[in-house]
Amino acid sequence: MDDSSGVGNQILARNGAWSFGDKTPETFVDHIRQSVPLYEDGHQLVCELSSFFCHNSSTCYEIGVSTGELLRKLALHNAAKPKINWVGLDVEDSMVRKARDHCDDVPNIQILREDARDYEFEKADLIVSYYTMQFIPPRHRQALFDKIYESLNWGGAFICFEKTRGPDARFQDILSSLYTDFKLRNGFNCDEIIAKSRSLKGVLEPFSTQGNIDLMRRAGFEDLMTIQKYICFEGFLAIK
């Protein structure tokens, strides 16, 4: 029996089985813009920050490139440095195809079907994870943070945006309620909100702000700060 339900933007998902594959890439950009506060502002901020770290000989990565929106913006923002090697990694075939089509006209972008947990990174000046780590199983997350730290050149940056949990139950209740109100204002109906929440069970595992900071510090990052925060969505900048 198919228990798929609509989660908005013509995307169907089953209980505990959210997927970035199948037909999700076709409307993913519209869906995520409606779902994540300050989504486009975060892209702009990442692009502006990249200017401080990316040089004309740099290799720079995005982990979880999805449709290639952010990676393309980064390459165009740094168009005066055409020798930067921009590399996007994703595990979903359909996302990789979509990203390759979207970035086809930018010659210094590569989109690879690779799992960052297994991929051998070159030394990099910038690594970006834009709402991706939250989908990495917690048992593998620290090892990936460690790998990112080791892969960066000294002075290189890791920019990580994540959905975050509240520091205790009361704050989590407040955050959950405010986020539901946000989604209602953005056009999702109650059934879609519930269906999306059910589909993400065991798939999306956010950590608290402190939990993410602890991951970065254990990996070796000492210099880090929050660069954007709204309700339960937060961006971090960590410099090696």
* Phi then psi dihedrals of residue 200, to 5 deg: -90, 0
pLDDT band at 1 (very low <50, low <70, confident <90, very high): very low
Give the separation between CA 25 and CA 86, rounded to whole angstroms. Answer: 21
Question: For 95-114, how does the pLDDT look when each residue is reduced to its tens digit (9 = 90+)?
Answer: 999 999 999 999 999 999 99
Q: Which residue is it, tokens 């994870």?
A: 129
% of the chain surpassing 90 pLDDT: 82
Question: For 165-183, how does the pLDDT look when each residue is reduced to its tens digit (9 = 90+)?
Answer: 999 999 999 999 999 999 9
Q: Is the pLDDT of residue 2 over 80?
A: no
Question: For 74-100, how does the pLDDT look when each residue is reduced to its tens digit (9 = 90+)?
Answer: 999 999 999 999 999 999 999 999 999
Question: For 208-219, how does the pLDDT look when each residue is reduced to its tens digit (9 = 90+)?
Answer: 999 999 999 999
Angle formed by the axes of helices 39-50 and 69-77, to 10°? 40
Q: Is the pLDDT of residue 188 over 60?
A: yes
